[in-house]
Amino acid sequence: MRWWPVFKKEMRLYFGSPVAYVVGTFFLVISGWFFSQILLFYNMSSMQAAMQPQMAQSLNPTEGILRPLFSNMAVVLLFFMPMVTMRLFAEEKRAGTLELLLTYPVRDGEILLGKFLAAGALYVLLLGLTLLYPGMVSYFARVEWGAVMTGYLGLLLLGGTFLAVGILLSSMTENQIVAGFATFGILLGLWVVGWGADFAGGTLRTVLQYVSITDHMDSFSKGVLDTKDVVYYVTAMAFALFLALRSLEAKRWKG
């Protein structure tokens, strides 16, 4: 497989430019801030619970800390993932390097895979650093690591889908800023359709709920692994990457 050199090149470009550091710092700082707020709120609730024993029943660290943490991180990702992918194809199209890349003896799919995996690796690295937060919780409370891992699997799938959509948009324009904003717009759209579900009824409600990219994250953050949600993310990811491949192919016809 020739995706490896492309992967290495992209990693080098991520860490040779400010992108990885800026995205990484802001991502960690913002999710860290959410984490501390959630923790403070949880602290307050548990102090109240100490005074009202009947409330303590409903209080557990998974529900009270991890679940809100995961859904907040999903929102943070919505802002940061487009920055990770916007450059990948758009910049190569603008600079003309894609023309050269597409004449090397590698399949288009391998180029795509190399870029997707590089973005994925950067994301996994950032996500790995956030394991610090559940780690801190484990010092003063019992953490259900199974639930944590399920949540992280959800974040992985969600983020991977964001990246695939971002790569698709990046392959469709020569302007990385346009690619970034379009990705953000589409992801935001896929997120807010879920809100529409609350007001719709019948089939429409089901459809809207299914399409909503963040609704599928919910069961993961509760520590529940649902095949339906895994299938949703994997399908969405594969579909976006397939379209990106077609967009590269179209480039070969248009020149």
Partner 1 sequence: MIEVDRLTKHYGPVTAVQDVSFTVEKGTIVGFLGPNGAGKSTTMKILSCFMAASGGTARIAGFDVFSQSMEVRRRIGYLPENAPLYPDLPVAAYLDFVAEIKGVPRRARRGKVAEVMERCFITDMQRRLIGKLSKGYRQRVGLAQALLGDPEVLIMDEPTIGLDPKQIAEIRALIRSLAGQHTVILSTHILPEVSMVCDGVIIIHRGRIVAQGTQSELVEQVFPTSRVAIEVGAPAEAVEVALLGVPGVLRVAVQETRDGAASFVVEASRGHDVRGDLARLVTSRAWPLLELHQVGMSLEEVFIRVVAGEEAAESAESVETPTATAEVA
Window contacting partner 1 (CB under 8 A); options: 42-50, 99-107, 127-135, 154-162? 99-107
Residue 121 binds partner 1 (CB under 8 A):
no
Q: 3-state SS of 125-146?
A: HHHHHHCHHHHHHHHHCCCCHH
Is the CB of 6 or the CB of 197 nearer to partner 1? 6
Query: In angstroms, rounded to a whole number, what is the distance separating the alpha carbons of residues 50 and 34?
Result: 24
* Burial of residue 231 (number of CB atoms within 10 Å: 0-12, 13-18, 19+): exposed
Q: Of the two residues 102 and 156, which places its CB atom closer to partner 1 in the complex? A: 102
Q: Is 22 in the site for partner 1 (CB under 8 A)?
A: no
Residue window 33-52: x/- pattern of binding to partner 1, with contact defined by CB under 8 A: --------------------
- Please, how many CA atoms are within 13 Å of residue 206, restricted to the half-sphere of its CB? 2
In 3-state terms the chain splits into helix, strand, coil percentages (rounded to 5) of: 85, 0, 15
Q: Please identify which residue in 96, 128, 135, 189 interacts with partner 1, judged by CB under 8 A.
A: 96
User: Which window, 12-20, 26-34, 39-47, 125-133, contacts partner 1 (CB under 8 A)?
Assistant: 12-20
The secondary structure of residue 65, as a DSSP letter, is: I
Residues 164 and 247: beta-carbon distance below 8 Å = no
- Cβ proximity to partner 1: between 13 and 211 the closer is 13
- Per CB under 8 A, residues contacting partner 1 are 2, 4-6, 8-9, 12-13, 16-17, 95-97, 99-100, 102-107, 252-255
